[in-house]
A = this chain, B = another copy of it.
Amino acid sequence: MTTVWLDGTHVDGRATIPVSDHALTLGDGVFETLVVVRDRPFAVTRHVARLRASATAVGLPAPDEDAVRGALDAVLRADPAVGRLRVTWTAGDGPAGPVRGDGPGRLLVVGTPAPVPGPVRVWRAPWVRNERSPLAGVKSTSYQENVVALAAARRHGADEALLADTTGRLSEAATSNALVSDGAGLLTPTLATGCLPGVTRALLLAWSDALPVPVREGDVAFDDLDGRALALTSSLRGVAPVVALDGTTLAADDRVGQVAAAFAARRDDDLDP
């Protein structure tokens, strides 16, 4: 079941938008995906802040915070079985061509059941993340690079694609941030690699001292991943151990399991950290 909030109203799954919306024709929009924990959107304050940061970074007006929160609540009220909430903030209707209109933007919230998490197999993609793009660090609806990388990973028998930045450092996965074992703890690539400033990633860094093993920022060469423990982090996955890299099974790493369990417990304990 799909539950939609659009233009200030709860509507059914057959909702439509004008073809003049620049998110449709030019990918000119930003978005967030939230997971529902105990009937509430998890980390809503951080997600709303990142949505606004993404909009500002690309020069779009920021969405109204109360409107975003109200829309999320409306979808959850309409369908308490929703497990995933996607918030899209578009550039709104604009003229033909690539020059923006004057707005206003368009706010769309879609609620669906949460996907069932499974074991994660990753594949190293041949393409690279552009850390010098105007969209570096922006959760943009111009998401086709990730769609293509994810589709290629699936063709290679994997569930996610890992991407290097243009200098050869691990950046992130197509739809998740990455963790790599290093010494006693876990590293996550720096934002300088063009990865998204993920909410789960940020919480792990903020909570590092209280975790069973430390999670720190640090860069790792893309060709230096063999034999290291890997995990992906995202709102929907939480902390998910990677079980295979490029078709090779990885040994389970206790550090990843401990951090995953600690994150899940703390997440259940504080729904808006």
Contact = CB atoms under 8 A, between A and B. Distances in A.
Contact of A13 (B20, B22, B129): B20
Contacts of A23: 24-25
Interface stretch (A136-144, A202-210, A242-250): A136-144
Of A21, A88, A97, A130, which is in contact with the most chain B CB atoms at under 10 Å from its CB? A130
A63 B163 CA distance: 30
A267 to B, nearest CB: 20
Interface in A109-136: 110, 112, 115, 125-130, 132-135
- Which bucket holds chain A's interface residue count? 35 or more
Nearest to A236: B97
Nearest to A149: B134
A186 interface: no
Interface in A210-234: none
User: Which of A97, A127, A141, A144 has the largest number of chain B CB atoms within 10 A?
Assistant: A144
Interface string A171-207: 0001100000000000000000000000000000000
* Chain A contact residues, majority secondary structure: mixed
A257 interface: no
A264 interface: no
B175 A108 contact: no
Interface stretch (A26-34, A35-43, A44-52, A72-80): A26-34
Contacts of A110: 19, 25, 96
Contact of A141 (B15, B25, B166): B25
A100 interface: yes
Interface string A59-99: 10000000000000000000000001010101100011111
Report which residue of A20, A142, A151 has the largest number of chain B beta carbons within 10 angstroms of its beta carbon.
Answer: A142
A112 to B, nearest CB: 4
Interface string A147-166: 11111101000000000001
A134 B143 contact: no
Contacts of A115: 97
14 contacts: A4-B19, A17-B17, A17-B19, A24-B24, A24-B88, A26-B141, A27-B142, A84-B97, A86-B96, A98-B143, A99-B154, A130-B133, A130-B166, A142-B144
